[in-house]
Amino acid sequence: MKFDDEPVPGYSLPVLPGHVSPGRLERVLRAGRFAVTTEIDPPDSADPAEVLRRAAIFDGYVDAINATDGSGANCHMSSVGVCSLLTRVGYATILQMSCRDRNRIAMQGEILGAAAMGACNLLCLTGDGVQAGDHPHARPVFDLDSPSLLEMARRMRDESCFESGRPIDSPPRMFLGAAANPFVPPRASRAQRLAKKVAAGARFIQTQYCFDVAVLRDFMAEVGDLGLLEGPDRVHVLVGMGPLPSARSARWVRDNVPGIYIPDAVIRRLEGASNQREEGARLCRDILQEVREIEGVSGAHIMAYRQETTVAHIIEETGVLEGRVPWYPGRDNPTELNPESPEAAGELPAAASS
C-alpha cells in the first residue's frame, strides 16, 4: 500500500481524520486491508546492527513489527530500544509493554519516550509471571494490569494528562492494542474480557497462537455479537499463529509455555509427517487460510521464533496481502535501504518491488 504522503523514513505520517496515530498499521487496518504483523526477538546484545538484521528478514511482507518486552520473563534488549532503532530507518513498530517490570511512573515515561522516537502502536500486556523466565527471583511489579494500562495510555493520548492528572504538553499519539487468548479457560468469558480491553481503549488485538480454528470462530462470533466489530470505534483482531518446528517441540511448548494451547490432533499431524518442519509450516498456512475467511478478522500476527525466514513463504503462498507490498526501507527509494539488509550488502536483488 503506497500513500501519497509517504514521509522521509524516521518521520511520522500525517494523522488522517478519524485516526489517532501517525502510523501505517492504523491506516492499513482502517482501510479494511488484511494486515500482517510479526515480531522480532530482541537480541541479548547491545549491537544495533543485530536488530536491523532481524527486521530485514520481513522486508516487503509485514505491516508492522512487534518488539517484545522481556517475553517469557526473560531478559533481552528493551522494546523501546528496539522500536527506536527500527523507526529511525522507517519501520512501523508495535511497542509491547508489559506490567511485570515497571510501575506507572516508568511506564508513562517510556510511552512518551517511545512516541517521541516514532513508535505509533502500543500493545498493552499483563506479562508473564517472573517464574516463567531466567530471573525467577526478581520482584514482580504489576502496579497496573492490561486494561488499566490501556486506560492510562488512552487518557495520556486523548486527555493529555498523566495518571496523576498533571498535564502533558504534547500527547503520545499512539494506536492502542492488547492481547487476547481465546484458547484457554475461562473460554466462556474471554469475549467479555476483550470487551473490557476495548472499553479501556484497545482498537487492535493480537491473539495468542491459534491452533484451533473452531474455538477462534466461536470467539469471533461472540465478539461480533457484543458489537465490537462495527463502526468507527471497532476493534481490529489480528490472529496469532506460527509454524511449529516438530511434534517434540510442540509438546514442550504445550507443557512449558504458559497460555499456549495445542490440541492433540495438531501434534498427531506433525508426528505423522515425514518432514515435521515442513508440515509445521504447512499447518500454519492452512490455519492462515481458514482464519482469513472468518468474519471480522482483520489480519494475522505471525510469530516464528527461530524460523523467521518461513514467514515470507507463508505469506507469499497464502496470498493474504493480495498483491500489496507493505512499506519497507528502500521500497520506494533505494537510498533509504536498511543498512543491514541483504540488498544493502549487495547480496540479493530486492525481495519485492513496488
Partner 1 sequence: MYRVRRWVVRHARAFELLYAGFEVMLQRSAPLLKRIGYARLEAPMARLERLIKGLLFDCQMCGHCVLSSTGMSCPMNCPKRLRNGPCGGVREDGGCEVKPEMRCVWLDAWEGSRRMKHGDRIHVVQLPLDASLEGTSSWLRVARGEHDAKAGGRR
Q: Does 138 bind partner 1 (CB under 8 A)?
A: no
Among 112, 133, 163, 277, binds partner 1 (CB under 8 A): 163
Is 312 in contact with 62 (CB distance < 8 Å)? no
Q: In Å, how far from its chain's centre is CA 189?
A: 23
Q: Does 212 bind partner 1 (CB under 8 A)?
A: no
- Residues 236-265, one symbol each (x = binds partner 1 by CB under 8 A, - = not), give ----------------------xx-x----
Among 20, 77, 92, 195, binds partner 1 (CB under 8 A): 195
Binding residues for partner 1 restricted to 29-88, rule: CB under 8 A: none
What is the rounded distance in angstroms from the CA atom of residue 321 to the CA atom of residue 33? 8
Residue 45: all three cell numbers together: 546484545
Q: Does 214 bind partner 1 (CB under 8 A)?
A: no
Q: Is 72 helix (H, G, I), strand (E, B) or coil?
A: helix
Among 75, 199, 265, 345, binds partner 1 (CB under 8 A): 199
Q: Which residues contact 250 (CB under 8 A, 6 or more apart)?
A: 244, 262, 266, 267, 270, 280
**Nearer residue to partner 1 within complex by CB, 92 or 239:** 239
Question: What is the smallest separation between the CB atom of 266 and partner 1, expressed in angstroms?
Answer: 14
Binding residues for partner 1 restricted to 106-135, rule: CB under 8 A: 126-129, 131-132
Q: Is 211 helix (H, G, I), strand (E, B) or coil?
A: coil
Question: What is the smallest separation between the CB atom of 79 and partner 1, expressed in angstroms?
Answer: 18
- Which runs of consecutive H residues, i.e. helices, occur in the chain? 24-30, 48-56, 79-88, 104-116, 146-158, 190-199, 213-225, 247-256, 264-271, 276-292, 308-318
Among 30, 113, 138, 145, binds partner 1 (CB under 8 A): 145
Residue 113: all three cell numbers together: 519516550
Among 78, 148, 249, 354, binds partner 1 (CB under 8 A): 148
Q: Is 278 helix (H, G, I), strand (E, B) or coil?
A: helix
Chain residues that interact with partner 1, rule: CB under 8 A: 99-100, 104, 126-129, 131-132, 140, 142-148, 151-152, 163, 179-181, 184-186, 188-189, 192-193, 195-196, 199-200, 208, 258-259, 261
